[in-house]
Structure 1
Amino acid sequence: MNSTVKLLLGGSLTLAIVMGVGRFLYTPLLPLMQRQYGFGPDVAGLIASANFAGYFAGSMLAALASRGLARRIAFQAGLVASVATTILMGFTSDLTVWLVLRTISGIASAFAMISAAGIVADQLAKVGEEGRLAWVFGGVGAGIAASGLVVHLLVETLASSTLWVLIGGLTAALVPFVLVLLRERPLPPSRRPADSRRRVARALPFWPLLAGYTLQGLGYSVFATFIVALIKSRPGIEALGDWVWIITGLSILPSCLFWSRIAERIGFSMALVIAYVAQIVGVALPVASGAPVAAILGAVLFGGTFIAITLLTMPLGRHGLGGRGFAVLTAGFGLGQMIGPYVAGLLVAGEADYTLPLAASAGVLTLGLIAVVLAIRGRSDAPKPRMPD
């Protein structure tokens, strides 16, 4: 295993632990938690929003540790805290404690994810291999799929509290390997041949791009929180609930690399539009139809786009606002995903019917797509460079 592979594997495992499990284990466990503890959709949305609020705060604080020893400490602390809060979720049934734990978990996942991605990106940039960062984000899908499979296999045997502890314990066993793998080290030079046809991202007008990305955060978070609960509430396809989430995770694995290649061929802006359309269709399918194929195809389209949209958006807006574009885009996205699950939970409180918020989610994503199209049109009215993206 050469040093580049070690670095990429360490980054991928980090995102599997802190995002795939620490952040998204709540989704497959939600129906089981509701049966075990008896809370409704309003509380379910509140718990999800607490985690997203923590991520929002953590992403802002992580900007203070963007280099050197401070970033390394932020990565290590975030990784350990994410695992610890996952395990501790199984030791309490108190709502206030849950909210505190999920908030801390969100902060920790942001610290670990942003710091780990920064370490990997900086090392890859030194050898001209920035494009390989897409492999790291596939770790989110690996964590979602693996934890979702464990839940599926044990859902009839173990309580949700036990599954929090068990899956958290499994991730804890990976932490020592991650700490060894993910560190600054010399990498071999790139062997990727130069390609003059490769397109690069060209900035879009910032404010409509920010509006689209904020709406993306709001829309995706509803699906990511409630899709398993929706499928399990439908007679005849309840057994698909866990598999829909596993398929979502598996679809993430190749998606970032796939969309990176697409963007290099047709341009980042056009790739972003297509990804939005695919995600809207994916969210709308299980709303419009109760057929098993609609749920499965929806999971494939959603999983295949929701991480990739971030990878496509950031290069288009990161230089905006005098170089503060990355932080502001992250804040907008965080605000959207913090609001989404809470409002969705209130919409269906006491009814256990998640069709309405998922339909609203598709509508919000459509508004996000419109904002992105307006951003592209705004750029098309400006003087064109010789090589647009």
Structure 2
Amino acid sequence: MHPTNRLLLGGFLTLAIVMGVGRFYYTPLLPLMQHDHGFGVDVAGLIAAANFAGYLAGSLLASFVPRGAPRLAAFRLGVVASVMTTLAMGLTDELGAWLVLRTLSGLASAFAMISAAGMVAEALAAVGAEARLGWVFGGVGIGIAASGLLVLFAAPFLDSAGLWIAGGLLAAIFAPVVLAAVRDRTLPARTDAPDPRRRVPRPLPFWPLLINYSCEGLGYSVFATFIVAIVKSRPGLEAMGDWVWIIVGLAGLPSCLIWSRIAERIGFSAALAAAYAAQIVGVLLPAVSSSGIAALVAAVLFGGTFMAITVLTMPLGRHGLGGRGFAILTAGFGLGQMLGPLAAGFLVAGEGDYNLALIGSAAILALGLSALVVAIRRRPETPVAA
């Protein structure tokens, strides 16, 4: 295998393991866990928030890990810990243990994802192939789809505890591949010339972009946590819940590459605004319609945008605040996604319902889109817009 493809495959599988399974496997398992253990939506939101809190802490800590041997060690530790914490979720039924395990899982996924993305991005940038990083983020989509299929076909034979263990074993199968493939590498030079018509990202004013990205973390996390439980709670759609999550993953698989190509044609800021508009529609659809078609379209729109928004945002703001933009943007996103399921869980357990939670999420995303528009308008004019 070509060294570049080997590194890309390793990064792709890393995100499938630590994000698609380690971070998002909870979503298709949530209805089964509630059935087996009898907890409510408020507890469901608390467990999700614990994972997101771990991811927030891990993101901040990972930004201080030096390149080289320390970063490689952080990556390997993150991959192993992600697999082990997924397995361990099936070995206990104590809420306290679940909270600890999901927090550690969030830490692990952040360390592995940020370390792997850094090593891959730097190697690609050295040979002028940054655009190929989109292949790596497609791993999140394939991990979501694979774990959704696992739940769909194994649920008749396994309870939620057995499915946690099965998910951990599935991730463990591919862990040796990523541990061997991902490291700091010097890649062969490209033989093809870059397209001279390609648009490049032009940084946006940082503080409106931070508001924008924090709103994304809060707004997307409610759908990402509860959509399977929402669909399965509706009469006549019980069998569709797992398929909705599988479609989210399949739509996410090519999304970063597609939106990156769109951004190179119309500009990164314009593409980001369009992705937000599509995601707002996707989040609103299950709230305004109980049909199966609405749920499937929502899955395509959400899966096709939530990772792409991250890929489009980072080049627009990573150089802000003296080079600390990536860490601060990640912190804002992490805080938002920690608060989203927690607030939604208590809302639904109290006087509200899932529809109100989704409408509130869409409103937060619309606020984020408004902040993005402000950032675009405040950006100094240059000859080439992005």
TM-score between both structures, scaled by the size of structure 2: 0.98
1:41 is aligned to 41
2:362 is aligned to 362
CA contact (8 A) 2:41 2:349 kept: yes
1:26-66 C-alpha deviation (Å, 9 max, x unpaired): 00000000000000000000000000000000000001214
The reply on whether 1:276 has 2:276 as its aligned counterpart is yes
Within a 5 Å distance, the mapping from 1:66-105 to structure 2 comes to 66-105=66-105
1:23 is aligned to 23
1:59 is aligned to 59
CA contact (8 A) 2:138 2:256 kept: yes
Q: Distance in 2 between matches of 1:54 and 1:293?
A: 35
Give 3-state SS (helix, strand or coil) of 2:349's partner: coil
1:372 is aligned to 372
1:255 is aligned to 255
CA contact (8 A) 1:127 1:188 kept: yes
2:246 is aligned to 246
2:141 is aligned to 141
User: RMSD over aligned Cα, in angstroms?
Assistant: 1.1
**Shift of residue 193 of structure 1?**
2.1
Give 3-state SS (helix, strand or coil) of 1:290's partner: coil
Pair 1:31–1:350, CA change in 2 (3 A): farther
CA contact (8 A) 1:138 1:255 kept: yes
Pair 1:248–1:67, CA change in 2 (3 A): same
2:169 is aligned to 169
List gaps (5 residues or longer) in structure 2.
none
The reply on whether 1:385 has 2:382 as its aligned counterpart is yes
**Shift of residue 187 of structure 1?**
1.7
Q: Distance in 1 between matches of 2:352 and 2:31?
A: 10
The reply on whether 1:232 has 2:232 as its aligned counterpart is yes
**Shift of residue 295 of structure 1?**
0.4
**Hey, which bits of structure 1, 4+ residues long, moved more than 6 A?**
none
Pair 1:351–1:37, CA change in 2 (3 A): farther
Q: Distance in 2 between matches of 1:211 and 1:175?
A: 36
Q: Distance in 2 between matches of 1:333 and 1:103?
A: 16
2:306 is aligned to 306
**Shift of residue 191 of structure 1?**
2.9
**Shift of residue 226 of structure 1?**
0.3
Within a 5 Å distance, the mapping from 1:168-187 to structure 2 comes to 168-187=168-187
What is the one-letter code of the residue matched to 1:293? I
Greater Cα offset, 185-194 or 370-379: 185-194
CA contact (8 A) 1:19 1:140 kept: yes
Q: Distance in 2 between matches of 1:341 and 1:301?
A: 20
Q: Distance in 2 between matches of 1:92 and 1:353?
A: 30
**Shift of residue 352 of structure 1?**
9.4
What is the one-letter code of the residue matched to 1:332? G
What is the one-letter code of the residue matched to 1:90? G
CA contact (8 A) 1:233 1:352 kept: no
Q: Distance in 2 between matches of 1:297 and 1:178?
A: 33
**Shift of residue 350 of structure 1?**
6.2
CA contact (8 A) 2:347 2:353 kept: no
TM-score between both structures, scaled by the size of structure 1: 0.97
**Shift of residue 25 of structure 1?**
0.2
Q: Distance in 2 between matches of 1:172 and 1:331?
A: 29
1:124 is aligned to 124
What is the one-letter code of the residue matched to 1:261? R
2:158 is aligned to 158
Pair 1:27–1:351, CA change in 2 (3 A): farther
List gaps (5 residues or longer) in structure 1.
none
**Number of residue equivalences:** 386
CA contact (8 A) 1:66 1:118 kept: no
Q: Distance in 2 between matches of 1:353 and 1:374?
A: 32
2:320 is aligned to 320
Q: Distance in 1 between matches of 2:36 and 2:57?
A: 30
Give 3-state SS (helix, strand or coil) of 2:63's partner: helix
Q: Distance in 2 between matches of 1:121 and 1:187?
A: 11
Q: Distance in 2 between matches of 1:336 and 1:30?
A: 21
Q: Distance in 2 between matches of 1:385 and 1:366?
A: 27
